[in-house]
């Protein structure tokens, strides 16, 4: 059984760990979808007239309501996408943190930009930020709350209406999100959840009344969204937050115990099902052997692959049988090409062929696997990481950039005790082709920083003050007050 299952009129979410149907949602007809969009258009006109500070107040009401519903979300999300229930709270905390930050900067980010310093006598000029209209947000399943908040709340605060299309794997997350927004004071037609088939999704993207599309997902899915937007009448904006094959470089002076633990978590958390999970690690040759030994030992000893609804589980299933098969094949192909597996699969008896449970794996002897094998250039999106020895910063930079992706990258070095190491990091950071570069951390989004990617990791920006720029348009106001 695949996950989820579809018919021409509905979708059914399959719980990953037990392969049982969880929830079914029906699709609208094209005419019903068109009517939903028309309602959004009309509602947005009134919503845009609500003063910004009132919209921000509604956003703060939403945060309060979301905080009160936290305990009810964990099991529901685990049953939809398989993440251990012990790890769900971290997503909710991040969701609330991002919401709070984006509200805290909204007044400044959306304020008029005056030009009084350069206005000539008798003139007044300023630049306004105005809403785009109706925005379609297409959310993924792996972090449905975290990714949705990046666009949905800033779009609403900016005065737009939002159509929120969740992944068919996590349909209830969008419904909970929208319900809390409405309860907080957002008009119902300003935030609407739409469960759509691929064909209906394309229809929504092509609809002339949808002014902007924010998509988070695969490269293939992003290309389909962009093609549909290009084929639509008129011109609309598209933001694409796509995949990653994120690298880490461990320099010779890195704090070994700290770095190993952080990079294990960066690769294995959520079973590696994160666009910014660590999939490639380059380690300076002088510390390569102890790094690999410590890394493998943590994976062997610290992870319990089990039923994700159990509070003691810290490694759950992957999202689908197809995903599990793809991950196993990628590991098998790497071994056939010469890679060596360091984690005995018998340590994880739950990981059986024909299930969604995949044993964590650490691969070495992966020069060819990381660099040359085309299949290895794709996201693994599973609990698998390759570790490779390098001899210099220059070699590490070359290998880190040897990927069609560029979402995040991390460098691990002892900047706190060595000024030269911090300088080295900054030089490396300038040369890495990526949207975000970290020093001594990974797999994290700071809402004050622009979340963006290069190459096949997509285009556009969410979070930070620049996230508001993407969801609004500039309108210049040029006033000649004195005419005589």
Which residues are known to be catalytic?
Answer: 241
Strand order across the 340-341 sheet:
340-341, 361-364, 384-390, 278-284, 246-250, 408-412, 436-439
Contacts 24+ apart (CB under 8 A), 415-418: 415/439, 415/440, 418/253
Peptide bond preceding 136 in cis form (omega within 30 of 0): no
Give every CB contact of residue 258 below 8 A, 6+ residues apart in sequence: 440
Please report which residue ranges of 279-384 form alpha helices under DSSP H.
288-302, 321-336, 367-371
Which strand (E) or helix (H) includes residue 476? strand 472-480
CA 145 – CA 140 distance, rounded (Å): 9
CA 395 – CA 386 distance, rounded (Å): 16
Chain centre to alpha carbon of residue 261: 23
Sign of the torsion angle spanned by Cα atoms 409, 219, 453, 165? negative
In eight-state DSSP terms, residue 269 is G
Helix (H, G, I), strand (E, B) or coil at 180: helix
Residue 13, beta-bridge partner list: 23
- In the numeric block, the tokens 């951390």 are attached to 441
Chain centre to alpha carbon of residue 239: 12
Q: Is the distance from CB of 395 to CB of 252 less than 8 angstroms? A: no
CA 101 – CA 377 distance, rounded (Å): 35
């Amino acid at each position: 059984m695949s996950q989820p299952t579809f018919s021409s009129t509905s979708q059914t979410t399959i719980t990953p760990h037990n392969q049982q149907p969880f929830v079914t949602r029906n699709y609208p007809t094209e005419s019903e979808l068109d009517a939903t969009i028309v309602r959004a258009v009309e509602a947005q006109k009134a919503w845009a007239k609500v003063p910004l500070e009132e919209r921000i107040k509604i956003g703060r009401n939403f945060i309060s309501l979301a905080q009160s519903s936290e305990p009810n979300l964990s099991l529901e999300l685990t049953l939809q996408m398989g993440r251990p229930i012990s790890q769900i709270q971290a997503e909710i905390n991040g969701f609330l943190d991002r919401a709070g930050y984006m509200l805290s900067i909204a007044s400044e980010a959306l304020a008029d930009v005056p030009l009084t310093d350069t206005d000539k006598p008798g003139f007044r000029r300023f630049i306004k930020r105005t809403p785009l209209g109706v925005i379609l947000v297409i959310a993924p399943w792996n972090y449905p709350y975290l990714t949705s908040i990046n666009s949905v709340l800033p779009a609403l605060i900016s005065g737009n209406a939002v159509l929120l299309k969740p992944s068919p794997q996590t349909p209830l997350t969008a419904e909970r999100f929208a319900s809390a927004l409405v309860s907080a004071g957002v008009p119902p037609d300003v935030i609407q959840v739409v469960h759509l088939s691929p064909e209906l999704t394309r229809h929504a993207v092509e609809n002339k009344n949808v002014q902007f599309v924010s998509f988070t997902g695969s490269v293939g899915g992003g290309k389909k969204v962009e093609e549909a937007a290009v084929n639509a009448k008129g011109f609309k904006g598209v933001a694409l937050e796509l995949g990653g094959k994120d690298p880490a470089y461990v320099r010779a002076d890195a704090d070994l115990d700290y770095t190993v633990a952080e990079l294990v978590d960066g690769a294995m958390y959520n079973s590696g099902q994160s666009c910014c999970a660590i999939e490639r690690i380059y380690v300076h040759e002088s510390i390569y052997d102890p790094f690999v030994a410590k890394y493998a030992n943590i994976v062997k000893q610290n992870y319990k692959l089990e039923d994700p609804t159990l509070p003691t589980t810290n490694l759950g299933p992957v999202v689908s049988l197809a995903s599990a098969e793809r991950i196993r094949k990628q590991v098998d192909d790497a071994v056939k090409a010469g890679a060596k597996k360091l984690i005995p699969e018998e340590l994880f008896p739950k990981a059986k062929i024909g299930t969604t449970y995949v044993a964590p794996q650490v691969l070495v002897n992966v020069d060819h696997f990381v660099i040359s094998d085309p299949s290895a250039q794709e996201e693994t999106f599973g609990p698998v990481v390759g570790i490779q020895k390098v001899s210099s910063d220059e070699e590490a930079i070359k290998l880190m950039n040897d990927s069609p992706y560029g979402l995040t990258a991390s460098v691990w070095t002892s900047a706190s005790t060595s000024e030269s190491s911090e300088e080295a990091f900054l030089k490396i950071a300038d040369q890495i082709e990526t949207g975000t570069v970290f020093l001594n951390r990974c797999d994290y989004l700071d809402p004050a920083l622009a979340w963006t990617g290069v190459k096949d990791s997509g285009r556009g920006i969410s979070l930070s003050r620049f996230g508001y720029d993407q969801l609004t348009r500039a309108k210049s106001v040029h006033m000649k007050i004195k005419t005589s």
